[in-house]
Amino acid sequence: MSEKKATLTIDGIEGAVELPVYSGSIGPDVVDVGGLTSKGLFTYDPGFVSTAACESEITYIDGGKGVLLHRGYPIDQLAAHSDYLETCYLLLYGELPDAEQKERFVSIVHNHTMVHEQIRTFFNGFRRDAHPMAIMCGVVGALSAFYHDSLDIADEHHRQVAAFRLIAKMPTLAAMSFKFSIGQPFMYPDNNLNYAENFLHMMFGTPCEASNVSPVLAKAMDRIFLLHADHEQNASTSTVRLAGSSGANPFACIAAGIAALWGPSHGGANEAVLNMLEEIGDVSRIDEYVARAKDKDDPFRLMGFGHRVYKNFDPRAKVMKESADEVLAELGLEDDPLLAIAKRLEEIALEDEYFIEKKLYPNVDFYSGIILKAIGIPTSMFTVIFAVGRTVGWIAHWNEMISGSYRIGRPRQLYTGHEQRDFVPLEQRG
């Protein structure tokens, strides 16, 4: 199947192992190291920086050139001409829908926006001050206890229904986790509204007052969902694939993805950006924080800067910045003190030798945090919103894996612990 070969010299024995090399449609070739085990060798790649763990047709990233393609379409074109649900269709099915397909897809998603009524009581088990991501890990995992008719992963129809349910119910659950924290009644979805409007309606509406969602804010919200829809084999998507490789049901797999997303190096960064801006507090203190970020002995990092794969610029950040400017203008917030700090940090990162040399640019979370703050969404909800948008990516990757051939994920290790030794009885230790 592969014409190219890589040969490995081990302990001076030239050509000790010959490994096939595969080429994708674009991107670097990959060396198939599967044959190494028969030679008693494993590969060692902490953080999987140079390991392709699967074959995929969904998303392509060239971090050096700042390219992000979904099914071949550049992210900036999708952000300019498409919308979140159309991008969901593209990610799930591989092609843009025609008008009829789009209408049907949107209508199916709308028909699944409500959650089982019993889930409302499930929320009461949480503390009111629980972090909404903690609630999301719990309730999304719990969906598998409510939707038994879409758990057979070998059945394509079940997988489809699970996908619709997850995409449609995530905004409802996200808004419920917010409403619960502030003690307001849960809002039912209004299926006359589009996906982003519906989310804002469930977040900010109350039974006694209509939410009056601004079209500019709804468009920005839709763009936030769209720009987070998928990002190749990142930590949370790889987690979903790994959990799914054991045959776990889709709701459990997505709950695993939500847990992985929560960390500040991944989806938690948008929340961390705002916390950092608040901690800096004033433009006059920026230099102090920038100095800390550069200090090797200080663990502090500038949140919202840098990316594992984008070492030039984050193409999502470019589009998100446009939305940030639109939202701030719509809300008349151009002079907000926190945003002044954000703008100054952005300037520094683009001028300062340390950031230029290490290729640390503002990433998507830097700007999405600013937009969400301006819309009035509390910081603890930022990562939840990332999870809502990313759900389609997780599901598309999970489905791609399950519908093809796959094996349970089982990485190996470089063991550096004790060699075998005999057990010492308690009275002889010390």
Q: Which residues form the interface with ligand CMC (CB under 6 A)? A: 231, 234, 265-267, 269, 293, 301-308, 358, 360, 363-365
Active site residue 70: no
In whole angstroms, the minimum distance from the beta carbon of 308 to ligand CMC comes to 4
Are 302 and 360 in contact by the 8 Å Cβ rule? The answer is: yes
The question of whether 131 is a catalytic residue gets the answer no
3-state per-residue secondary structure call for the chain: CCCCEEEEEECCEEEEEEEEEECCCCCCCEECHHHHHHHCCCCCCHHHCCCCCCCCCCEEEECCCCEEEECCEEHHHHHHHCCHHHHHHHHHHCCCCCHHHHHHHHHHHHHCCCCCHHHHHHHCCCCCCCCHHHHHHHHHHHHHHCCHHHCCCCCHHHHHHHHHHHHHHHHHHHHHHHHHHHCCCCCCCCCCCCHHHHHHHHHHCECCECCCCCHHHHHHHHHHHHHCCCCCCCHHHHHHHHHHHCCCCHHHHHHHHHHHHCCCCCCCHHHHHHHHHHHHCCHHHHHHHHHHHHCCCCCCCCCCECCCCCCCCCHHHHHHHHHHHHHHHHHCCCCCHHHHHHHHHHHHHHHCHHHHHCCCCECHHHHHHHHHHHHCCCHHHHHHHHHHHHHHHHHHHHHHHHHCCCCCCCCCCCCCCCCCCCCCCHHHCC
Q: Which of 110, 112, 231, 307 is catalytic?
A: 307
Q: Rounded to the nearest whole angstrom, what is the least distance from the CB of residue 208 to ligand CMC in the complex? A: 38
User: Active site residue: 70, 112, 266, 397, which one?
Assistant: 266
> Which residue number, 201 or 266, has a Cβ lying nearer to ligand CMC?
266
Complex with ligand CMC: residue 132 or 389, whichever CB lies closer:
389
Q: Which is nearer to ligand CMC, 238 or 363 (CB)?
A: 363
Smallest separation (angstroms) from ligand CMC to the CB of 123: 27
**Considering beta carbons, is residue 150 or 323 the nearer one to ligand CMC?**
323
Considering the complex, state which of residue 180 and residue 262 has its C-beta at the smaller distance from ligand CMC.
Answer: 262
Nearer to ligand CMC, 18 or 278 (CB): 278
What minimum distance in Å lies between the beta carbon of 157 and ligand CMC? 32
Residue (330 or 352) nearer to ligand CMC, CB: 352
The CB density around residue 126, as the number of other CB atoms within 10 Å, is 17
Min dist CB 234 to ligand CMC, Å, is: 6
Query: Over the range 272-289, which residues count as b (16 or more CB within 10 Å of their CB) and which as e?
Result: bbbbbbeebeeeeebeeb
Closest-by-Cβ residue to ligand CMC is 306
Please, what is the minimum distance in Å from the beta carbon of residue 72 to ligand CMC? 21
Catalytic residue selected from 83, 222, 314, 365: 365
365 is catalytic: yes
- Give the nearest distance from C-beta 250 to ligand CMC in angstroms: 22
Q: Which are the catalytic amino acids?
A: 266, 307, 365
